[in-house]
Structure 1
Amino acid sequence: MNLTGPFSSARPAPGQPRLPTPPTGWPVGSYGTYEEAQSAVEHLASNELEVRDVTIVGVDLMLVERVVGRLSWGKVLGTGAISGAWLGLLIGLLLSVFSPPGTSPAPPILVGLAAGVLFGLITAAMSYSLTKGRRDFSSTSQLVAGRYDVLCQPRNAERARDLLAKHAMRSPGALG
C-alpha cells in the first residue's frame, strides 16, 4: 500500500503525468480543509468509485509562516551546541570504528563530540550575528490552500457528485 500526503514527492503512478500539469476533470465537491477533501475521496473509494479518476486540487495557495518563539543568544547557542554534538558524535563513532584494534573507542568519540559542539557553537553564533537583530524569532512554514476542490473525470463525475452530496448531508463542513 502506497500512502502519500498532499505534497508527496513519490513517483507518479502509471498513466499519471511526470511534469507539473494542470488538473483535469469536472468539479464534484469543494471543501474548506484538506482533511474534508480527503474524507470525501475516502467516501468515494468506500463506495467503489474508481478513485484514479479523482484529483484533489488546492486553490488560492498561501505560504503561512507561524511564529513559534523568540530567539535569544542562549537559545541560538544551545541549539547550535546540540546539533553540533550530534554531528560530532557521528564523526566520533566513525573514527572509533577505524581506530586500531585493542584501543578504547572513547577518545575518538569524545574528541568528535567536543569538536562538534565547538563547531555548532561557532556556526550558530556566526549565523545569528549576521542577522543583526532583523529576525529574532523562529518559525515554521506551511503551504496551505484557501479551499480544496475535488475533481473527477467525466466518465464518473455524475456518480461522484451524487455520492458526495449524500456524504455532505451526513458530515458538515462542505462548501459545495
Structure 2
Amino acid sequence: MTTAFTGAAFAGGQGTPRVPTLPSGWPIGSYDSYDEAQRAVDHLAGNDFPVTDVTIVGVEPMLVERVSAKLSWGKVLGGAAMSGAWFGLFVGLLLSMFTPGAGLLPIVMGLGAGIVFSLIFAAISYGATKGRRGFVSTSQLVAKRYDVLTQPRNAEQGREMLARFSMRAHALG
C-alpha cells in the first residue's frame, strides 16, 4: 500500500499488498484462538523480534451468524418509533435553537415527524422481506486455528522464542 510518508508500495514482506495475496513465510506457532496468536506476537514484539515480517493467518475461516432475537411487527415498529423519536427530538431541538420565540412547536413537530417517517420506512422495509428474515443476528468471521508466520530468515529464532513463551505460560497456569 502506498503511504503518504514513504510513497513505497508493498515490497519484500513489509506493509500490506495492494491486491489480495496469499501470505508468505514459515509457521512458527499455531493457536486455537486469535487472542492466543495476538499474545504470541505481542511477546515477539516485546523481545525485539522483527514483527514487520510476521503475519497472523486464520486457517479454515467460517462465517458464524448468531441469532439474538425473533422479529415481529411489534418489535420492528417499536424500535423504529424509538429511533425516530430520538432523531426527531434532535432535529426539533436544532430548529428551536435557531428559531427565536418558536417555543416548543419545532420540538414537537420534529418529534412527531421523526416517529412517523421512521415508522413508514421500517414498515416498508420489514414488509418487503415477506417473513423471510424474521430474526436479528450478528455475523462474525472466525477461524479454526490461527498460525503465526514469519519470513524464513527469522523462523528459527521465532520458533525458539514462542516455544519458551509457551513453556512459561503452561508453567504459570
TM-score, scaled to structure 1:
0.80
Superposition deviation, residue 117 in structure 1: 0.9
Superposition deviation, residue 116 in structure 1: 0.8
Compared CA separation, residues 48 and 79, structure 1 to 2 (3 A) = same
Are the aligned partners of 1:12 and 1:18 in contact in 2 as well (CA < 8 Å)?
Answer: no
Aligned residue for 1:154?
Answer: 152
Match of 1:147, SS? strand
**Deviation readout 1:74-106 (Å, 9 max, x if unpaired):** 21111111222232233323333442x3443x3
Unmatched 5+ stretches in structure 2: 7-13
Unmatched 5+ stretches in structure 1: 1-10
Compared CA separation, residues 130 and 148, structure 1 to 2 (3 A) = same
Aligned residue for 1:62?
Answer: 62
Aligned residue for 1:90?
Answer: 90
Superposition deviation, residue 155 in structure 1: 2.2
**Deviation readout 1:1-33 (Å, 9 max, x if unpaired):** xxxxxxxxxx89965123333222111111111
Aligned residue for 1:36?
Answer: 36
Q: C-alpha root-mean-square deviation of aligned residues, in Å?
A: 2.2
Aligned pairs for 1:1-150 within 5 A: 15-16=14-15, 17-99=17-99, 101-104=100-103, 106-150=104-148
Partners in 1 of 2:80 and 2:101 — Cα distance?
34
TM-score, scaled to structure 2:
0.81
Match of 2:156, SS? helix
Query: How many equivalent pairs are there?
Result: 160
Partners in 2 of 1:50 and 1:134 — Cα distance?
50
AA of the residue aligned to 1:56: I
Partners in 1 of 2:164 and 2:29 — Cα distance?
12
Deviation larger for 84-93 or 132-141: 84-93
AA of the residue aligned to 1:151: L
